Amino acid sequence: MSSSILSSLLRPAPLFSIAAILRLVLLLYGTWQDAHSAVKYTDIDYLVFTDAARYVSNGLSPYSRETYRYTPLLAWMLVPTAKPHLFSFGKVVFALADLLAGWLIVRVLRKQRGMSAERAGAFAAIWLWNPMVATISTRGSSEGLLGVLTMALLWAVEGKRIGAAGFILGLSVHFKIYPFIYAPAIIWWMDDEHLGNGVSKSPASFADAVIKFLSPQRIQLTLISLSTFMGLNVLMYYIYGTPFLTHSYLHHVTRIDHRHNFSPYNIFLYLASADPSSSSLHAFLPQLLLSCLFIPFVIAKKDLATSMMAQTFAFVTFNKVCTSQYFLWYMIFLPLYLPGSSMLRVPSRGITALLLWVLGQAAWLQQGYELEFLGVSTFFPGMWLASLGFFLINCWILGIIISDGAERSIQKVHVM
């Protein structure tokens, strides 16, 4: 009885209505709290975006706002928020982006995985009904936009919409840099078998193999994504000049990341930043090797979605900075990875992974609380050990995702 009620809620109309109502309630609650309490619901970043949007609407540069480190596209998109009564416009956009991402998840699951509506709805609910996702977007954080962009990218690639995929890839990288890790996975995936060109003979020589690899579709994707990315950059540079480059891109190279966060490198970077002779660029190496090379090489052709999930997970886990908003970057792929994964097949494994992930964060947050609010110097050893513990937990989880991905063969619905 109850299971049938639940499964009826997972049909598209109730699924999206509940997701929309959840966000609407949070949005209204947030507006109320902001108006009545000195403690604000709205994320500080949202004030940065809206300030930047106000500058843009007055014909000024969004970089006039300190700490605006995003593409001007975001500020342009939020120009309506410059009008006081449309302050929440951006949050509505972010919430709609969540819903659109959820719709894409359902579509990929149904059309490209052949899942039933209820089953697809159940997995999409992990994203759509996720209170963390809904809260982040209604508080006005733009990370949800990345969710819709990466899911649209997967949808376009798996649907063999090469032009759309190239455009979305270029746009996403312009937006937030990190989606460049998906480029090698997509290129690798785009073989004849996946594109439905019919299985051809194995290449005779190395030169043949190279020529075969440089297929028109791969070249098309590369050219479209590169020209979208560079086109947007040139446009923004033309309009806003050096501040665009400094704040959107160079900042991420030169920042010293000394403030406490989940990253395993954090305390090391703080100590290193106090010593001007040191450099920490080698921290990029394990991160890039895993997320751009090894993981896509082994997994992308087997299951592109799981590869993208594992790549993102590796990127966030090995990153020099890591805050909880980054977790959203890989959460979007959960509904695609989980069906058939060992986390669900062996529930104890899934539950252990979830518990450890939560506990690892809780241990770190406890140390962070003592430092931030009580002024206790927990940098060493407490917070350092907590961040390493959380890192190792994440590596263990990443190992499970990779093993699952390596064994995966997603059901193909297209007819050869």
Partner 1 sequence: MRERITYFSPRDADLDPNQLEINGVKVQGPAVEAVREHKITLTLPELPSEIAGLLRDLDQLQLRWATPASYNTLEPFSSRISPGLHVSYTPIKEDHDPEKLCTALQAFGRLDCSSPDVFINLSNGRQAGSPALFFYNELEKLDGFAKRLGPVVCSGPTAADCRKQLQELKDAVSLDMSYDSTSEAVKIQALWPLQKREIAVPASPKGRTEVGILRIGDAPGMEAHEVGVSGVLAVVGETKTPSPTMFAFAARHRAASGSFTSRFQQPTGLHPTLQLSLSSTAPPVDDGAECAPYAYFTFPKVIFADRYQLADELFLASKNLAAAKYVSEPVDLEAPAYTTKEWGSNVLLELAPPKDKAAAKNWTVEVPLHLRYLKPSPTGKEEAGIPYPAVFWACNGEQDVGYAINPFDRINLGYDGLFEPGTTFWHVSPKPEADGPLINNISVPVAKEGASQWVGVGTAVAVGLGFVWVLMKLMGGYAKSGHGTVKTAEDKDKKEK
Residue number with CB closer to partner 1 (20 or 258): 258
Distance set, CA 80 to CA 27, 58, 277, 397 (Å): 17, 12, 46, 42
CB burial class (10 A; 0-12, 13-18, 19+) of residue 300?
Answer: buried
Question: Are residues 79 and 174 in contact, defined by beta-carbon separation less than 8 angstroms?
Answer: no
Q: Does 85 bind partner 1 (CB under 8 A)?
A: no
Q: Does 214 bind partner 1 (CB under 8 A)?
A: no
Question: Are residues 327 and 361 in contact, defined by beta-carbon separation less than 8 angstroms?
Answer: no
- Alpha-helical (H) ranges within 108-191 are 117-128, 131-138, 143-158, 162-176, 182-189
Question: Are residues 142 and 94 in contact, defined by beta-carbon separation less than 8 angstroms?
Answer: yes
Q: Does 326 bind partner 1 (CB under 8 A)?
A: no
Between 18 and 37, how does the x/- string for binding to partner 1 read (CB under 8 A)? ----------------xxxx
Q: Does 398 bind partner 1 (CB under 8 A)?
A: yes
Residue number with CB closer to partner 1 (230 or 274): 274
Map the footprint of partner 1 across residues 34-73, applying CB under 8 A: 34-38, 40, 44, 47-48, 51, 66-67
Among 187, 332, 378, 386, binds partner 1 (CB under 8 A): 378
End-to-end distance of the chain based on CA atoms, in angstroms?
41
DSSP percent split of the chain into helix, strand, coil, nearest 5:
75, 0, 25
Between 274 and 313, how does the x/- string for binding to partner 1 read (CB under 8 A)? x--------x--x---x---xx-xxx-xx-----------
**Residue 283 Cα to chain centre, angstroms:** 21
Among 1, 205, 238, 373, binds partner 1 (CB under 8 A): 373
- In whole angstroms, give the CA distance from residue 181 to residue 324: 20
Among 24, 243, 361, 407, binds partner 1 (CB under 8 A): 407
Q: Segment near partner 1 (CB under 8 A), from 131-139, 324-332, 354-362, 385-393? A: 385-393
Apex 155 CA angle, 402 and 407, nearest 5 = 25
Residues 6+ apart with CB under 8 A from 242: none
Map the footprint of partner 1 across residues 170-199, applying CB under 8 A: 193-194
Residues that bind partner 1 (CB under 8 A): 34-38, 40, 44, 47-48, 51, 66-67, 193-194, 256, 258-259, 264-265, 267-268, 270-271, 273-274, 283, 286, 290, 294-295, 297-299, 301-302, 314, 317-318, 371-381, 384, 388, 391-392, 394-396, 398-399, 402-403, 405-409
